[in-house]
Every structure is written in structure tokens, then in C-alpha cells.
């Protein structure tokens, strides 16, 4: 949808705007200088209401002065090197196998990237009031801070890659800058420790991956990092988050089927809508994933285990560490499969860690009865509502209650028996086997199996 949107913008520019003149690069000036009039078929340099075309297999430099155009088309195997201020009233359009090298200056306007955009050198760079639609690759190479002014929108498509291989940062100086990511934003692993700070708004629907020895810093509490439902935060490095952080997506230490530790500093969000993916290849510390939190988290989401070996009963895995866990409302039991066999994990929380322990049984489903109570459930199997019925001489003063547990041992309903007959609703519970406990105080006095259709 958004890819088409950006192309429609461009095609409307090219189709419906009249240019006072089109300038096509010929290279007849025998150098690479944008400002050499002999290099253009019109023997004139493009101005701000004109179309500039760089055909295939050329290299062009903007160095000597400020450059202008309304639209710039860069065709296959050509390169535009920007080393001074460039203003395009509408957009630069690149084909595949083209290259823009931005080394210096203020850029104003739009870019549609289908090839490569390499941002190089430690010279000052500013992006002022425009957009980038990336369907190719953007690389940050040996560059420092890039400042964004006024309104800047960056869309990284599902096929787009933004690869950051330098220290530095993206900084919103004024106005509003937002990155909409559907593809990959990454800091590849490196032996050199590097930090890259993001002071802008990010909506992540794709993947943000931070490699080993690398750190993404999402800074300033007036900015927002939104990890959406399809969004993934993964890697072996560090996410240091002091911006507003909303997480509806997934944390994945090291990434799919790769083992490692992902560190999250300061703001950590793990609500019921979010997920943590854990790969387990063995019991040694370097054979399973861990997420290390420097902070005080509330843990409410879901853990998914990807098994790559057959664990033994009582094998244990510390999958979350933290300074102090404020609350832990994770499922009590998890299941995972390896080579067709299902394994069960008990989830054990303490003040500073979450541990998974392999257990033999999830739930004792043996029914028991009590001589003092006649205990019925109607109907069973359950389609919608069901009744719990005790013997008629039931006394409400004995603190009798019922608790409903699913197959994984998670309590899903509870209700006091205020009379000899109460009604419970299936609600949104899934089909399967459940266990209903009849309790007097904290003591179990009867059990009964239920099947929800």
C-alpha cells in the first residue's frame, strides 16, 4: 500500500507537472561536475523547476555550489555524490542498481530509493522537510549525527534495509520526524563497540535488530518507540530505551533459531499482548536464549519456546533476568514440541529472574469426590453456560468455592458457592479438557473433569 503510495506521488510528479526544461547528463565536459554546463545536453545547469536526468553508467558530483532541481532521475549503474546542499522541489527517483552517496550538506525534498543510499563521512548533514521511501538499502557508513528539521517522513518498506554501521544518531532537531518501518533496521555485529541514538518517533511493524557489541539508544521521553503487533525487537546487543515505549509485538534474543542474550535497559514493556521468543538448544548458558533487563519490569506477556533438542525432566533455563521484577503474571506452564514429542515447562518467577523447568505432568486430571458433598456439573460436555450443583443441605457459611483450570494448570475462573447451585459461563475459553476444583477454604475436597466443546 505505502509502496504504491510513494510511486503514485512520483508518477504524478512526472506525469502532471510541466517542467520548463529537461536536462539530460551527457558527460561531454569530461569531468563529473554537476556545475559544468558542458556536461548537460542543454549546456545549462538545472534549476529548481526543471527535470534532471542522469542516464545509465554515469558518475556525477555536487561539490562546488548549492544545486537545485524539481525532479532528479538516476538510472541503472549511475551514482550521484552529494557533497553540498541540494534542494529538489519534489523528489529524487533511483532505479535498481543505482547509488546515491551523501557526504555533506543540507538535503531538502524527497527520495525514492530502489537502489542504494550510502551516508558517508563525518561532515555535517541535515535533512530538511521531505520524505524517504526506501525499497532498497540505506547504509550509514562512518557518519556522525544526521539532523532532521521540520516535517520528515521515512518509510522503510517490507523489502527495505536500513543498515547502521557507525556510531552517531538520527536526531529530530525541530518539527516532527517519524520512521515507519516495515522492513529491517539493523546494527550488524562488530568487534568494535558502537552506539547509535534515535531521537525521533518510530513505528515498528518490521524488525529492529541490534548486533553483538552494538547499542540502539531510543532517547528523550517526548519521543515514541512503538513496537506494533508484527514488530520484532531482536539481536545480541543492547536496546537502551528512555523514550515512551509501547510494545505489542515480540522480543527475540539473537533472532530466530540463533542463541544469544538481548539486553534491555531502562524502559521495558511486556504487556499481555506481547511475546518473548526463546530458543533452547541445550542446558548450558550458551545453548539457550536470555533477555537481560536492567530495570524493574512488570511481566504479563507470553513466552514461546522453540526446542532444538529433547530436554530431560528437571532441566532448567533462566530466560529472563532483571534488577527487581515488580510483578509476574506469566502463564504457569508452557508447552513446546521437538520431533513430534510434546514437553512441558513450569514457569518459575522470583524477584530477579524467570526460570523454565521441564516437568513430567502439567495437570493431575484424576477425579476425586468427597463423602460430605455431592458435586455435579450440568451439562458436561459444556457448550456455553454450565451449572455447578451441590447437595441441598449445603451451608454458605463453610467458605465453599469452585476453581476452573485449563490443561496447562492455569486458573481461568473462580467463584464462591453462595448457594447450592451457581451458573458459570464458558465465555471465550477454548475447546478442550478442563478441571473443576471444589474447595473448602484452601483445601481441595473434590475434583471433576469438564470438556468444553
Domain-embedded: residue 320: no
**How many Cβ atoms from other residues are within 10 Å of residue 244's Cβ?**
16
Domain-embedded: residue 87: yes
Residue where one domain finishes, among candidates 182, 198, 230: 182
- C-beta separation of 417 from 395 below 8 A: no
Q: What is the pTM of this model?
A: 0.80
Residue where one domain finishes, among candidates 182, 197, 230: 182
Domain-embedded: residue 263: no
Distance CA 275, CA 277 (A): 6
For residue 379, cis peptide bond before it (omega within 30 degrees of 0): yes
Domain-embedded: residue 300: no
Residue where one domain finishes, among candidates 182, 204, 238: 182
Tell me which residue range forms the domain holding 409. Answer: 375-452
pLDDT 10s digit of each residue in the chain, 453 long?
A: 334 444 445 444 444 455 668 999 999 999 999 999 999 999 999 999 999 999 999 999 999 999 999 999 999 999 999 999 999 999 999 999 999 999 999 999 999 999 999 999 999 999 999 999 999 999 999 888 999 999 999 999 999 999 999 999 999 999 999 999 999 999 999 999 999 999 999 999 999 999 999 999 999 999 999 999 999 999 999 999 999 999 999 999 999 999 999 999 999 999 999 999 999 999 999 999 999 999 999 999 999 999 999 999 999 999 999 999 999 988 877 888 899 888 888 899 999 999 999 987 544 445 555 556 667 788 888 888 888 888 766 665 678 888 888 866 778 888 888 888 888 888 888 777 788 888 888 777 888 888 787
DSSP 2: H
Distance CA 240, CA 224 (A): 13
Domain-embedded: residue 358: no
Number of domains in the chain: 2
Q: How many helices (H) and strands (E) does the chain have?
A: 1, 41
Domain-embedded: residue 443: yes
349-362 burial, b if ≥16 CB within 10 A, otherwise e? Answer: beeebbbbebeeeb
Question: Which CATH number fits the domain that encloses residue 413?
Answer: 2.60.40.10
Amino acid at each position: 500500500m505505502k509502496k504504491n503510495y510513494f510511486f503514485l506521488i512520483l508518477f504524478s510528479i512526472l506525469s502532471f507537472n510541466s517542467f520548463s526544461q529537461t536536462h539530460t547528463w551527457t558527460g561531454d565536459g569530461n569531468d563529473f561536475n554537476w556545475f559544468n554546463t558542458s556536461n548537460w545536453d542543454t549546456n545549462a545547469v538545472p534549476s529548481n523547476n526543471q527535470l534532471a536526468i542522469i542516464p545509465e553508467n554515469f558518475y556525477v558530483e555536487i561539490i562546488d555550489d548549492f544545486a537545485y532541481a524539481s525532479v532528479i532521475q538516476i538510472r541503472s549503474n549511475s551514482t550521484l555524490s552529494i557533497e553540498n546542499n541540494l534542494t529538489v522541489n519534489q523528489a529524487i527517483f533511483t532505479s535498481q542498481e543505482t547509488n546515491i552517496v551523501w557526504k555533506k550538506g543540507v538535503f531538502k525534498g524527497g527520495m525514492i530509493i530502489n537502489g542504494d543510499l550510502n551516508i558517508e563521512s563525518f561532515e555535517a548533514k541535515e535533512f530538511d522537510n521531505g520524505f524517504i521511501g526506501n525499497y532498497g538499502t540505506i547504509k550509514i557508513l562512518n557518519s556522525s549525527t544526521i539532523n532532521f528539521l521540520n516535517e520528515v517522513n521515512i518509510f522503510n518498506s517490507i523489502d527495505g534495509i536500513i543498515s547502521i554501521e557507525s556510531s552517531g544518531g538520527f536526531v529530530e532537531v525541530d518539527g516532527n520526524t517519524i520512521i515507519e518501518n516495515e522492513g529491517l533496521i539493523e546494527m550488524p555485529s562488530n568487534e568494535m563497540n558502537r552506539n547509535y541514538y534515535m531521537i525521533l518517533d518510530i513505528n515498528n511493524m518490521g524488525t529492529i535488530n541490534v548486533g553483538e557489541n552494538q547499542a540502539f539508544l531510543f532517547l528523550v521521553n517526548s519521543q515514541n518507540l512503538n513496537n506494533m503487533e508484527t514488530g520484532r525487537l531482536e539481536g545480541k546487543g543492547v536496546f537502551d530505551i528512555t523514550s515512551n515505549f509501547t510494545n505489542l509485538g515480540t522480543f527475540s534474543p539473537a533472532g530466530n533459531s540463533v542463541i544469544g542474550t538481548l539486553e534491555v535497559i531502562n524502559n521495558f514493556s511486556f504487556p499481555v499482548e506481547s511475546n518473548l521468543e526463546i530458543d533452547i538448544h541445550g542446558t548450558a548458558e550458551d545453548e539457550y536464549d536470555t533477555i537481560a533487563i536492567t530495570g524493574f519490569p512488570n511481566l504479563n506477556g507470553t513466552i514461546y519456546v522453540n526446542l532444538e533438542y529433547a530436554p530431560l525432566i528437571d532441566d532448567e533455563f533462566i530466560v529472563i533476568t532483571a534488577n527487581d521484577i515488580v510483578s509476574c503474571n506469566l502463564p504457569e506452564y508452557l508447552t513446546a514440541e521437538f520431533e513430534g514429542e510434546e514437553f512441558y515447562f513450569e514457569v518459575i518467577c522470583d524477584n530477579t529472574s524467570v526460570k523454565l523447568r521441564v516437568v513430567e505432568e502439567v495437570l493431575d486430571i484424576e477425579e476425586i469426590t468427597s463423602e460430605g458433598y455431592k458435586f455435579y456439573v450440568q451439562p458436561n460436555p459444556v457448550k456455553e453456560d454450565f451449572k455447578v450443583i451441590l447437595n441441598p443441605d449445603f451451608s454458605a457459611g463453610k467458605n465453599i468455592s469452585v476453581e476452573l483450570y485449563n490443561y496447562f494448570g492455569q486458573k481461568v475462573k473462580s467463584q464462591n458457592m453462595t448457594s447450592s447451585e451457581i451458573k458459570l459461563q464458558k465465555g471465550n475459553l477454548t475447546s478442550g479438557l478442563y478441571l473443576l476444583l471444589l474447595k473448602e477454604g484452601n483445601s481441595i475436597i473434590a475434583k471433576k473433569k469438564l470438556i468444553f466443546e
